[in-house]
């Protein structure tokens, strides 16, 4: 049996941590007025809907690529264009379920193996996954500023 270096978080806890963040991001989406979700922006940045397009193009598809060791290019385009916030929430919930399903297929050894995500990011899988979480927290933090600028109180950061 392979001896593992002593490490500090279980796969189950890391998934729970990520899905906790994803639940908060969902509440941030909900907090936006319909129009502002698609249109409001500051300093030439993308509106929150476009940031969510990015997060949707990473989460489930990236994890699927990892689990199947199948390198697909990064792709934000989709056959059907989403034009309502409710459609984004639906896609978000689908991704939640898909992430849970793919996660079950990850073995403990996988986390330290290297994978060339989207054919561009060749890192140990644990670092790809931490990047997904960090990237989501980063963009959601930007969404908090949009909400504040719109006079809307965002959800508490520590609510998951």
List of residues contacting a copy of itself (CB under 8 A): 4-11, 13-14, 17, 21, 42-45, 108, 111-112, 126-127, 130-131, 133-135, 137-142, 144-151, 157-158
**Least CB distance to a copy of itself at residue 155 (A):** 12
SS3 110: helix
Nearer to a copy of itself, 13 or 93 (CB): 13
Least distance (Å) from a copy of itself to the CB of residue 22? 13
Q: Minimum distance between the CB of residue 147 and a copy of itself, rounded to whole angstroms? A: 8
Closer CB to a copy of itself, 17 or 26, in the complex = 17
Task: List C-alpha distances in Å: 53 to 3, 8, 50, 126.
Answer: 40, 32, 5, 23
Which CB, 13 or 94, lies closer to a copy of itself? 13
Sign of CA dihedral 147, 148, 151, 156: positive
* Distance in Å, CB of 149 to a copy of itself, minimum: 4
C-beta of residue 18 within 8 angstroms of C-beta of residue 133: yes
Which tokens go with 54? 């990015």
Continuous H helices in the chain:
11-31, 34-39, 48-68, 85-104, 125-149
């Amino acid at each position: 049996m392979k001896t593992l270096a002593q490490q500090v978080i279980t796969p189950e806890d890391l998934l729970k941590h990520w899905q906790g963040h994803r639940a908060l991001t969902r509440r941030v989406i909900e907090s936006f007025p319909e129009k502002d979700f698609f249109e409001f922006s500051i300093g030439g940045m993308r509106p929150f809907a476009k940031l969510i397009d990015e997060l949707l193009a990473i989460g489930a598809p990236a994890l699927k690529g990892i689990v199947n060791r199948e390198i697909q290019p990064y792709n934000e385009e989709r056959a059907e264009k989403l034009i309502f916030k409710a459609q984004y929430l639906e896609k978000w919930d689908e991704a939640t379920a898909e992430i849970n399903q793919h996660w079950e297929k990850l073995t403990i050894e996988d986390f330290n193996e290297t994978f060339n995500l989207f054919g561009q990011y060749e890192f140990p899988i644990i670092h790809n996954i931490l990047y997904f979480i960090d990237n989501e927290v980063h963009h959601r933090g930007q969404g908090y500023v949009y909400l504040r600028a719109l006079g809307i109180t965002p959800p508490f950061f520590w609510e998951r």
